[in-house]
Amino acid sequence: MTEKIFLIEKTDPAVFFGSNNKYFNILKKVFPLLKVSARGNEIKISGPENEIKTFEHKIELLQTLINTRSTLNDAELFKLLSDENTSNAIPRDENGNETLPDNVLVFGPNGKVVRARTPNQIKLVQEVDKNDIVFAIGPAGTGKTYTAVALAVRALKSRSIKRIFLARPAVEAGENLGFLPGDLKEKIDPYLRPLYDSLQDMLPDDKYTKYIENRTIEIAPMAFMRGRTLDNCFVILDEAQNATNTQLKMFLTRMGPNAKVIITGDLTQVDLPPKMESGLKKAIKILDGIKGIKVVHLDVEDVVRHPLVKEIIKAYGKVDNQG
């Protein structure tokens, strides 16, 4: 008879054990020959040594699964844990460690797979892994924001960061913010809606609501960032072409220790007043060559919306080049 203590360190214990110990009870049912108890993040196991080794492997597998999926159902979990051929349950690297294909970023509600779908989106993922500040520049529909949000959610789920902060400049695209109905939040929310939508595509409703309420995820206009220091945080500035030079400098200097920053923008859709230069365009020039900062360009071939969007971008591009 062997006895061991296993620590749950790779994921949140509350998520690992499940509501009312739901997942933990399923785990125990799969191993009737073991005596298993838990306290805090410790699991105490006693029983045959070969069973304990298998149990430990299943725990590692379960943690990997939780860190890549937003939701689990009982039947799927039970099948995964009871499957003898676990080597095929999740892809593995050359060392035998569970992993995922390079282009899979996160699993959304109901097992939806969010992945980098084009060569430049995959390049964006790779550069974010290697650099702390990445500019993602490209036309509408190329997945800049969606990929950035997926990377932020992945980082939060893997616990490599503690918070996500998403921001946009509140610049009117031909409309006057002051004349819109409602209070300040109601006026600003439409500008931030694409960020809300992306998050809700990747997180179950209860977890999304919890993260927003406890400010694990914060979404705000750029102006709300002044004076902040964002550490242990994944920060995304969306629609950065509508930030002035002063605003973008302010944003970049909010970066604290253990932070990742992605700045997305489309330099063909600047909504700033005439004769006012986009801070994004200037920042790319000023910061060129600094180690740890990378610019990734996406183009019309990366468009993942309706096929006509690609043709629309090409048509407008021809007119802009002629003018």
pLDDT tens per residue, range 59-71:
887 777 777 665 5
Where a domain ends, among 35, 60, 88?
88
Whether 103 contacts 115, CB under 8 Å: yes
Q: Is 130 found in the same domain as 77?
A: no
Specify whether 161 is located in the same domain as 237. Answer: yes
> Are 71 and 151 in the same domain?
no
* 131 and 274 inside one domain: yes
Pick the more confident residue, 200 or 304: 200
Domain enclosing residue 58, as ranges: 2-88
Q: What is the pTM of this model?
A: 0.68
Closest CA to 36 of 60, 75, 4, 72: 4
In a domain, 93, yes or no: no
2, β-bridge pairs: 47
Domain boundary, last residue among 54, 88, 122: 88
- Fill in the DSSP letter of residue 278: P
Whether residue 98 is contained in a domain is answered as: no
Dist CA 192 CA 185 (whole Å) = 10
pLDDT digits over 268-280, tens only?
888 888 888 899 9
Instruction: Please state, in angstroms and as integers, the Cα–Cα distance from residue 289 to each residue in 215, 284, 293, 294, following that order.
Output: 34, 10, 8, 8
Secondary-structure percent of the chain, ordered helix, strand, coil, rounded to 5: 45, 20, 35
301 and 154 in a common domain: yes
Do 33 and 163 belong together in one domain? no
Longest CA span, the chain: 81
Residue 96 lies in a domain: no
Mean per-residue pLDDT for 44-63? 83
In this predicted model, what pLDDT tens digit does every residue of 135-163 receive, in sequence order? 999 998 899 999 999 999 989 988 889 99
The answer to whether residues 132 and 66 belong to one domain is: no
Mean pLDDT in residue range 212-236: 89
**Number of domains the chain contains:** 2
> pLDDT tens for residues 81-134?
655 544 334 444 455 444 445 577 887 776 677 888 888 999 999 999 999 999
**What pLDDT band is residue 174 in, cutting at 50, 70 and 90?**
very low
Residues 118, 72 share a domain: no
What does the pLDDT look like over 15-31, one tens digit per residue? 788 888 888 887 787 77
